């Protein structure tokens, strides 16, 4: 039996690289044919770390590059779409780019070109920012009322996929945190950034009134792998929408306090301020904590508590 084919769209990003790492760790027992897309240039560290993977240059705005995947890799059994313009301010400044990148029209159009359309599961990474942020622990059935362009573009993506593709899982992810990647990503990682600023011994402002359910990256990888295993073993099409967060609702202040406690930093360096005191050039939802009951029940996965995830992250950084 030939190895099942998995394509990671946005393989050079933070989650994409951790997914490739997760698949490489099980190749000896569960071999997959792996491919990933990149946007700008071939990532040499990734090519060296995952030498059996195919790397394809793809422009998600135009769809240029997908034909090469058809010719050299073929129809994937699973596509995991991690690609996004995910900086809210950048989306606010260029709404057209946000829509053209975040709504995967070129990807779905390409998948539709295969004769056996139903043979591919599309796993799409969405965001907790689809919620309005006026209450705690949103369930999946809650109305999506995003307050910024980023959230609106992700709602448009969810609607597009549910209308145009019949076999999908949409994962509304909170802040993803964890160890740095094989090829370090340019954006600052949340726990590493907090650790870096507190280690200098200066007072730093953190918001006390914005709440999320940060999720440990290896849990997200485990969730995606569980969905893939379910599809490949059962062969039943799915139309699934899941909140993907950690079990803890935390503010930025509480995130910083966890790092300070584990590292032994002076907690008086953490200065609580209101999110309304800072102009970030984009509206941000106040409380988009999520209820993850459906995730736990459907996939039998219990995400890592926030403080444990922070310990794992800092331990991994120390050993790198």
How does pLDDT run across 121-140, given as a tens digit for each residue?
999 999 999 999 999 999 99
- Give the number of domains in the chain: 1
Residue reference for tokens 């997760």 = 22
Predicted local confidence at residue 285, as pLDDT: 96
Whether 89 maps to a domain, the answer reads yes
Whether 257 maps to a domain, the answer reads no
Q: How far apart, in Å, are the Cα atoms of 233 and each of 84, 166, 226, 238?
A: 29, 18, 10, 13
Mean pLDDT of the 286-314 span: 98
Whether 202 maps to a domain, the answer reads no
Structure-token pair, residue 310: 């922070």
Q: Reduced to 3 states, what is the DSSP secondary structure of residue 109? A: helix
Q: What does the pLDDT look like over 257-271, one tens digit per residue?
A: 999 999 999 999 999
Whether 37 maps to a domain, the answer reads yes
Whether 274 maps to a domain, the answer reads no
Structure-token pair, residue 62: 């135009």
The answer to whether residue 27 scores a pLDDT higher than 80 is no
Predicted local confidence at residue 121, as pLDDT: 98
Rounded to whole angstroms, how far apart are CA atoms 226 and 105? 26
Choose among 156, 269, 167, 172: nearest CA to 223.
172
Whether 112 maps to a domain, the answer reads yes
Whether 31 maps to a domain, the answer reads yes
Q: How far apart, in Å, are the Cα atoms of 309 and each of 95, 171, 185, 270, 316?
A: 34, 20, 19, 20, 10
- Cβ neighbours of residue 260 closer than 8 Å, sequence gap 6 or more: 198, 266, 267, 269, 270
pTM for this structure? 0.97
Structure-token pair, residue 92: 């606010």
The parent domain of residue 123 ranges over 4-181+213-245+288-296
Choose among 120, 306, 298: nearest CA to 226.
298
Choose among 165, 164, 194, 192: nearest CA to 178.
192
Mean pLDDT taken over the chain: 95
The CATH number of whichever domain residue 177 belongs to comes to 3.40.50.720
Predicted local confidence at residue 173, as pLDDT: 98
Q: What does the pLDDT look like over 76-118, one tens digit per residue?
A: 999 999 999 999 999 999 999 999 999 999 999 999 999 888 8
Q: What is the DSSP letter of 147?
A: S
Whether 137 maps to a domain, the answer reads yes
């Amino acid at each position: 039996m030939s190895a099942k084919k998995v394509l990671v769209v946005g393989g050079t990003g933070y989650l994409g690289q951790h997914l490739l790492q997760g698949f490489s760790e099980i190749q000896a027992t569960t071999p997959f044919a792996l491919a990933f897309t990149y946007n700008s240039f071939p990532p040499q560290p990734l090519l060296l770390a995952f030498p059996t993977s195919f790397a394809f240059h793809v422009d998600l705005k135009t769809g240029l590059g997908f034909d090469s995947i058809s010719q050299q890799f073929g129809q994937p059994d699973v596509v995991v779409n991690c690609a996004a313009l995910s900086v809210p301010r950048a989306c606010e400044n260029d709404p057209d780019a946000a829509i053209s990148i975040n709504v995967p029209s070129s990807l779905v159009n390409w998948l539709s070109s295969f004769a056996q359309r139903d043979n591919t599961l599309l796993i799409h990474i969405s965001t907790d920012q689809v919620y309005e942020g006026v209450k705690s622990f949103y369930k999946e059935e809650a109305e999506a009322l995003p307050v910024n362009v980023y959230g609106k573009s992700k709602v448009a993506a969810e609607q597009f996929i549910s209308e145009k593709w019949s076999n999908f899982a949409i994962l509304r992810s909170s802040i993803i945190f964890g160890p740095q990647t094989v090829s370090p990503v340019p954006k600052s990682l949340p726990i590493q950034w907090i650790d870096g600023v507190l280690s200098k011994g200066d007072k730093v402002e953190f918001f006390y009134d914005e709440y999320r359910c940060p999720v440990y990256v290896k849990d997200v990888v485990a969730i995606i792998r569980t969905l893939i295993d379910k599809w490949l073993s059962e062969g039943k099409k799915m139309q699934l929408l899941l909140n993907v967060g950690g079990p803890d609702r935390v503010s930025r202040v509480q995130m910083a306090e966890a790092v300070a406690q584990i590292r032994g930093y002076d907690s008086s360096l953490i200065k609580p301020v209101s999110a309304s005191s800072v102009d970030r050039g984009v509206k941000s939802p106040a409380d988009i904590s999520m209820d993850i009951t459906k995730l736990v029940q459907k996939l039998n996965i219990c995400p890592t508590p926030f403080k444990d995830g922070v310990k794992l992250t800092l331990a991994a950084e120390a050993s790198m």
